[in-house]
Structures are given as structure tokens and as C-alpha cells.
Amino acid sequence: MNVEYLLGLRKITAICDYQFDPEITDVLFSNKENIHLERSKNTNKIRYIYVKDNLLLTLRPTNGLFTLSFFSAQKIIDNTPPPKLRAIVLNEVSDYIKKGRNVFCKHIIDIDENLRPMDEVIIVDQNDELLALGRLKLPITYIKTFKYGVGINVRKGINKSKG
């Protein structure tokens, strides 16, 4: 292992600790030997983190934070108790969310209290099955009290990816 790789690994684990939680960092980076960092050709900055051949995280260049992939979301779901980093929605609307539709406040049953607006959130149904990935739009207290309006902007549904 070279110095550049070790420094990159240290940087991404620090970002993950800050953005998610040290517990999530331990889950995502449990097998450090299989982690591969892909860097930008022009700037040489870290862009993608892979575990073997599976995309784990993408580092957004605009704000320096991660976006989750379906692989990392499933890994978090399998290794943490609900509602850690999750929003649990009604089973009746799960088909719409799988297609990439946004989540309304009235459909959210339970949500992680530690999330803040613009945080990455994993959207699951009542059976803890992965439906989509998105970004929180409102504070948690508003989401729990509002009966109207979008609470989570869905970035990717498991049946259809946006963009």
C-alpha cells in the first residue's frame, strides 16, 4: 500500500465519520483491503470509492460529501437497526417511490432523528426493504408535523434511476 492510497483512505473515512457516523464508517469500510479509490483524471481528486467491483460511495465535488449507492445502502440496512439513516414509509406508496417519485411528509412513518436537511437518506418500506435513495428537504420536526408537501427528494429509485 502506497502513501497516496493510505492518505486517501484516511480522508474518506474522516468524511464518512463527519457525514454519517463512526458506526456507519465501520460498516462501510469493514474490509479495507478490497477498497479501490478512483480519482479524477484532471484534478487527481477522489471521485468514486469501490469495494471490489461494486460502487460504494461517490464524492460530490460541489460540497465534498458522499452520495450513497444502492450497494452501500443495502450494506447499511443489513448491519444497523432501523431507523438509522433511514426514512420508513407506508407500504401503499412503495411502488411510486421505487419509480423515483418524491416522498411526501404524510407518508413517512418513522425517520432517524439525527438527520438534518440536505442529508443523504435511505428510503425503506415497513418491512425494511430498500426502495430509493434521496436527500432530506425539511427538518425532522417539520416532517413529523406536516401533512402536506415533499419531505424527501428522491435521487434514485430502485426501479428507475434519475439522470
Pairwise CA distance, residues 125 & 95, whole Å: 10
Neighbouring C-beta atoms of residue 21, cutoff 10 Å: 16
Are 126 and 120 in contact by the 8 Å Cβ rule? The answer is no
pLDDT tens digits for range 3-62? 999 999 999 999 999 999 999 999 999 988 999 999 999 999 999 999 999 999 999 999
Instruction: Return the CATH number of the domain spanning residue range 3-74.
Output: 3.10.450.90
Neighbouring C-beta atoms of residue 114, cutoff 10 Å: 12
Residue 100's Cβ-count burial label (10 Å; 0-12, 13-18, 19+) is buried
Which class is 81-157 in CATH? mainly beta
User: Can you give the residue ranges of every domain in the chain?
Assistant: 3-74, 81-157
Grade residue 163 by pLDDT with cuts at 50, 70 and 90: very low
Helix spans in 22-139 (H): 22-28, 70-79, 94-98
pLDDT tens digits for range 63-113? 999 999 999 999 999 999 999 999 999 999 999 999 999 999 999 999 999
